Structure 1
Amino acid sequence: MRVGFLMLCHDGLDRAAQVAGYWADRGCPVVIHVDRRVSREAYDTLVAALEGRHNIRFSERFRCEWGRWSLVAATLAAARVMIDEFPTASHVFLASGSCLPLRHISQLRAYLAERPGVNFIESVTTEDVPWTKGGLDHERFALRFPFSWKRQRKLFDLSVRLQRRLGYRRRIPKGLVPHMGSQWWCLTRGTLQAILDHPRRAEFDRFFKGVWIPDESYFQSLVRLCTDRVESRSLTLAKFDYQGKPHIFYDDHLQLLRRSDCFVARKIWPRADRLYATFLSDRTATESRAEPNPGKIDRIFSKAIERRTRGRAGLYMTGRFPRVQTDAGRTCARYVVFEGFGDLFEDFPAWAARTTGLRAHGHLFGPERAEFADGQSVFSGALSDSATLRDYNAVAFLTNLIWNTRGERQSFLYGPRDTVAAGDFFPYDLNADVFAITGAWAIPLYLSGRPVIEIRKQAAELQRIEGKHLDHLRSRWAKARVHVWTLADFIESPVEPLQTMIDEIGNKAGLRLTEAPRMRDLTGFGQFLQDLRNEGMQPWLVGDLRTGDSAPDRPARPKPYAVR
């Protein structure tokens, strides 16, 4: 049993020389193709580094480009050299210059000897391929691709759209069923020679010259015509990200590569000295002869892809900024927003902290400063209470606060006087619990003792801001858990809403309300609202609050006089 290796190289030639020498020194014939774009000087250096090994050959050089026929042409040229010059090679293994053997060649020989005549090549029909990118699966065989996807992307896309509009379809050669799969395979000598010498080879080559990414379909399709002994899997470990780009293995992937039990891995970082030193040694000869099973590490790669595409909920960073429309979590943990409670009750954050166990802040987005719990001026993660710094990016301020304090549930007060950007954010956050008393903004205006005529415009503006914010809370797209009461309804029966609030927060199961927060003195508040109405401002968000007692003495509205 003698295994020959074809190597397609375009960079990292020093590492390719190491791997080629490793295989050649252990009795394996090697045929190397070097991309024509590689300089003559670099090519001569590679040839000189491998000089003296009788079982290494170099094939005709092609200028290779991803997704084009040139990669297949280079492979066919190298395969012809292998078949013609090494008649004792029973199997041919296709690898790249960035591949690295993970197990000793003796183990590969023994594995293939136990499965005589079997061809290891991933080969599945287009209907069964889940990994194609860009929407081109069966169309890669039906359309023509005269332009390079990488160098002429606009022309490539225009050509595809035009052919689709015209309904153009290429004729697939009779008897050929297109299959796809990994570029990296291990074929028996008989199968590879049958492909090279197939009587319809010229017809097949003409067809695949117009196929997109033919290196993933040429051998995968023709192998079905030349043999019925196909095991549709690759012996090479090759992992790809969600964009179809190969994962690169580094030194810290050493144990991961060992666990896969595969014979070869790509793509290895050229400076991974530890990997090359470990696997290009004979110590691997005594290691496990287990069945190659890349599925052992699939869970790790799936998790990596999920982390790359979805990130971690609530973590905002330069390397992976969440996409608001598609990512599930805007923040990393649950938090509570109290709207209007600070206006209605005295020292409400202290009561909330005692009763619910929350870390209760004041108005984090207040106009003067961020009112952190316990009067702190700098909070977790070096967050400053400066309103200017906070409002530079209010959303980032909130998400950072929640991220920095994960493990401890936060709460804060919010109202129409606060930074609007935050109020447009948390209604659409799954982690937000919002309890709102509408119209409570009128209480501080009432307690200020200012004339109603001076307050009217401010009251109208606060009501407008809160009304717009309520539209967000009641939006069909809102994801927060929202409870809204009008001020009139809440004052009429405050215990029931407070108990609902405690039950919803749920920090302490079965907790009953034993201490109510202290409500502000609202004697005369109803008359104040009536005075607002008399001035032409309708406080409809307050609800239907009866007039009640008359208000304390207020400066009378100045009488208008007509000057003649």
Structure 2
Amino acid sequence: MANIAFILLCHKDPDAIIRQALSLTAVGDYIAIHFDARADAAAFKTIHTALSDNPNVAFANKRIKCGWGEWSLVQATLYAVEAAVEAFPRATHFYMLSGDCQAIKTAEYAHDYLDRTEADFIESFDFFASDWIKTGMKEERLIYRHFLNERNNKWLFYKSLELQKKLGLSRKVPEDLEIQIGSQWWCLRRRTVEAILDFIKQRPDVKRFFSTTWIPDETFFQTLVRHLVPEQEIECRTLTFLMFSDYGMPVTFYNDHFDLLLSQDFLFARKISPEALELKERLGSLYSAKGVNFEISNEGRSLYKFLSGKGRIGRRFAARFWEKESTLGRERELLIVVCKKWHVAKRLVSRIRKLTNIPCIEYLFNEEHTELPDMGGIQTTLGKRHRHRRSLMRMMFDYYDSDRMVVCMDPGNLDLLEDFCRDRATTRLLEVQCNFSDDYLIGHATRVGLAGDRTPVETLMRLLPTIRNDIVHESDRIRDAEFENYLCIHEENSAEVNAKALATFLSASREQALEIARTDHLFAD
């Protein structure tokens, strides 16, 4: 009979991970956990303390920092797989999961399902011949070396790519491999997993090749399974039910999706909303149930496509009560840096990004050319960004796979500040107050069209008090709004004073905040 060892990659919500592990191991299955080294050490300690006495739980021997699109995700998976192979000799199958996944069938059903089919379940389509990659880089993922994270170092990432192209530094794909691509959510038999581990020990060149490809979690296991396993023993599909919106973002499931999920021909589903507590509880209890009959209709994707095409006015997919104002999510933190001198704010968030790894986005509601990922067109103009502000921000949280994000806004965007501060997410404001010289104000007047190169000096001098008062008025309106989590740093303050506000704003240590406050030439023009 099948015994499943779940391979869980996670980075947040320790209580949910503990519940997930207890639910999956309660029926005799196993779980090996890799908790991202970027995450809070206290969160990992909570998980380890709660589960270390459970004989069906193992932890990866090494924790590493993971980044989307990087080799680190594959390496973290390998660490967890190695721990599972060693700790659970009776495991017959190894099933990849994330913290957002939940079982949508009973263990009884899942074990029987795997017993009936002597195969590995993994999407693996020909990398070059298939249309699995819809947009963006394709061949460039493989033939050039990628050492940087595209999301954290976008400019350097593409400059590195351009330089390699210019210098002709392309490389060949290992000749004996036919590169495959597919979803990273697989279920593999024990002998397949052991064959992969043996293969990479014998072929360090293959591991070295994939370690500098882009998004290797979509190609590494997919390629090696095809290389090592006869075609008739591969089911080219995932057992995890997931859907994507027109924007290319994962569809999230809520409390009213319980019946729909159970009717799909899959064993697990992702992503389950963190706020769908009732759904999580029902699915958690389901896994250990006995004698449940499932009527498989498999209409999920077609139904979603139909109803989303109708503008989500159907009953089954109607807006949830917490979604009526398109909330960002209770569990998320939006950290807004408000500053009239945009170059000062950019300098500050650049330092925050470097020292904390919190995703930081510059003036996305003020500058058309702000670098943003492709969100299906919603990000293309300032008008669209303003109209779909909450949808855009939710998609950014999903894109960066983070519950915390820093954005920059101009003090004149009071409507945006009021809107986001009313959200159920935790929103904090950090106003960066600067001194404004006459020369700066003249430059500002020129940039916003109040003055030109030929404007007489006398006219400029008459304008300056008005401009200065306007800036002061914007700051006064922010303070008059009495936002709950308002903080302030000032150019006149010492680094120690500013660090106190920064530590609260970022939930950072005093030492880390002080290092940010001491950024070289932070307030320089």
Could you say which TM-score interval applies, normalised by the shorter chain?
A: 0.5 to 0.7
Aligned to 1:125: 126
* Alignment check: 8 A CA contact 2:7 2:33 kept: yes
Match for residue 193 of structure 2? 192
Native 8 Å contact 2:122 2:182 kept in 1: yes
**Partners of 2:262 and 2:163 in 1: how far apart?**
48
Taking the TM superposition and a 5 Å limit, the aligned residue runs for 1:71-90 are 71-90=73-92
Work out which of the residue numbers 246, 249, 258 in structure 2 matches 1:254: 258
Matched with 1:275 is 279
1:79 maps to amino acid: V
Contact between 1:15 and 1:98, CA under 8 Å: does it hold in 2?
A: no
Amino acid at match of 2:175: K
2:111 aligned residue: 109
- 1:74-473 mapped onto 2 (5 Å cutoff): 74-116=76-118, 118-132=119-133, 134-198=135-199, 200-228=202-230, 229-282=233-286, 285-289=290-294, 296-303=299-306
1:379 alignment partner in structure 2: none
CA pair 138-19 structure 1, distance change in 2 beyond 3 A: same
Alpha-carbon distance, 1:154 to partner: 1.4
Indicate conservation of the 8 Å contact 1:133/1:244, yes or no.
no
Q: Structure 1 residues 248, 200: closer, same or farther in 2, change over 3 A? A: same
- 1:288 counterpart letter in structure 2: N
Q: Distance in 2 between matches of 1:173 and 1:225?
A: 12
Are the equivalent residues in 2 in contact too, given 1:102–1:261 (CA < 8 A)? no
Quote how far apart the aligned CAs of 1:128 are: 4.7
- Distance (whole Å) between structure 2 residues aligned to residue 308 and residue 211 of structure 1: 39
Q: CA deviation at 1:217?
A: 0.6
Counterpart in the other structure of 2:412: none
CA separation in 2, counterparts of 1:224 and 1:44?
38
User: What's the secondary structure of 1:6's corresponding residue?
Assistant: strand
Q: Deviations over 1:492-518 (max 9, x none)?
A: xxxxxxxxxxxxxxxxxxxxxxxxxxx
Q: Are the structure 2 counterparts of residues 230 and 322 from structure 1 closer, same or farther at C-alpha, using a change threshold of 3 Å?
A: closer
- How far off its partner does 1:171 sit? 1.4
Contact 1:6 1:30 (C-alpha < 8 Å) held by counterparts: yes
Kept in 2: contact 1:35–1:64 (CA 8 A): yes
- Residue 42 of structure 1, CA deviation: 0.9
The aligned residue for residue 68 of structure 1 is 70
Instruction: Give the aligned partner of residue 22 of structure 2.
Output: 21
Aligned equivalents of 1:231, 1:22: Cα separation in 2: 27
How far apart, in 1, do the equivalents of 2:40 and 2:185 lie? 26
Change (3 A) 1:138 1:288: farther
CA distance in 2, matches of 1:273, 1:236: 20
Distance (Å, rounded) in 1 between the aligned partners of 2:304 and 2:141:
27
- What letter matches 2:79 in structure 1? A
Moved more, 210-219 or 199-208: 199-208
Which structure has more RCO (C-alpha within 8 Å, separation ≥ 6)?
A: 2
Q: Which residue matches 2:396?
A: none
Shift, 1:12, TM fit: 2.1
TM-score (norm 1): 0.52
| CA shift in 2, pair 1:162/1:41, >3 Å | same
- Distance in 2 (CA, whole Å) between partners of 1:134 and 1:122 is 19
Matched letter for residue 94 of structure 2: V
Matched residues, number = 315
Distance, in Å, in 2 between the alignment partners of 1:243 and 1:128 is 24
Residues 1:70 and 1:152: Cα distance change in structure 2 (over 3 Å): same
Q: Deviations over 1:240-275 (max 9, x none)?
A: 233432222121322321222321011111221111
Alpha-carbon spacing, 1:80–1:26, altered in 2? closer, same or farther (3 Å): same
CA change 1:224–1:290 in 2 (3 A) is farther
Q: 1:130 to 1:280 in 2, by over 3 A?
A: same
**1:170 & 1:223 partners in 2: Cα distance?**
23
Q: Is the contact made by 1:12 and 1:98 (CA closer than 8 Å) also made in structure 2?
A: no
Alpha-carbon distance in structure 1 between the residues aligned to 2:38 and 2:186: 25
Cα drift, residue 158 of structure 1:
2.4
Q: Percentage identity across aligned positions?
A: 34
Task: Quote the Cα distance in structure 1 between the aligned partners of 2:307 and 2:209.
Answer: 38
Q: Could you state the TM-score of these two structures normalised by the residue count of structure 2?
A: 0.56
SS at match of 2:128: helix
Structure 1 position 220, deviation (Å)? 0.3
200 and 52 in structure 1: CA distance in 2 versus 1, 3 angstrom threshold: closer
Two-structure CA RMSD over aligned residues (Å) = 2.9
Deviations 1:349-373 (A, max 9, x none): xxxxxxxxxxxxxxxxxxxxxxxxx
Q: Which moved more, 1:153-162 or 1:90-99?
A: 153-162
Pair 99,119 (structure 1): closer, same or farther in 2 beyond 3 Å: same
Residue aligned with 1:241, SS? coil
> For each residue in 1:131-164, what CA deviation from the matched residue of structure 2 results, as whole angstroms up to 9, or x when unmatched?
4254212221112212211011112222333334
3-state SS of paired residue (1:67)? coil
- Tell me: CA distance 1:13–1:130, structure 2 relative to 1, closer, same or farther (3 Å): farther
Q: Deviations over 1:258-314 (max 9, x none)?
A: 2223210111112211111111114754333566x75x21123334665689xxxxx
Task: State the shift of 1:70 in Å.
Answer: 0.4
Unaligned runs of 5+ in 2: 313-324, 327-374, 381-525
Amino acid at match of 2:38: R
Aligned pair in 2 of structure 1 residues 114, 40: CA closer, same or farther (>3 Å)?
Answer: same
